[in-house]
Structure 1
Amino acid sequence: METVMSIVVGILFTIGTYLMLSKNLLRIIFGSSIISHGINLLIMTMGGLKTGSPPLLSEKIHIFTDPVPQALILTAIVINFAVTAFLLVLSYKIYKVYGTDDLELLRGNEDE
């Protein structure tokens, strides 16, 4: 299962990198979001896809699941949502002011 997850992480990184290399502002935002999802899957894969009991102190369990990667992923999902929402609002404002979301045209507007 870890091999399949590693292949999916590689595919997500490839798609995200391809989107971030474009000249369209929305594609760059979606590319960074897809790379963030790939990183979340990478953290889950590196934490191990183990099955076990919850880590309770009252019971004597030898095999338990580590909750730290899941807590990190949950925090990263919330931060990714907030950053993506902020960047989408920022790109909407840029589109309203300049009338385009092409980075080459926006760079041309800065020189004037």
Structure 2
Amino acid sequence: MSVPVKDVSARGQGWWARIAWSAYPFFPNPEASPMIVSRVSGIQWFFFGVIALLARPLGGQTIEELLTRAELTDFVETTSYEEVIALSESLAELSDNIHLTTFGYTNEGRALPLLVVGAPDASVA
């Protein structure tokens, strides 16, 4: 079964330039089911490849190494202070854009960790 193509050249260029109207298998009326047909250009494939490469874990660490105790135990146990500090330090080592600092102290005198994500030379406006 051939798919009729509706001429929409007056609407502009790009991926909207061609719309195919499929009548099979779900809709008996060809006007009832628009299906967009597009061609992916080389530059689009390039950007897809760049995004795919950047999406992999940074620094070679696996996701399991960055999970908290609560996440590892299905929230049956809570994370200890030492584990929070270790996780915060691991995250800070992943990128120059992640900075570990503190924002106060607990009643027990332990520092409260604060992770700031941003450019290293960023300043308060």
TM over 0.5: no
Higher helix share: 1
TM-score normalised per structure 2: 0.26
Q: Where is the strand percentage greater, Structure 1 or Structure 2?
A: 2
Q: Which has the higher contact order (CA 8 A, sep 6+)?
A: 1
Which structure has the larger Rg over C-alpha atoms? 2
TM norm structure 1: 0.28
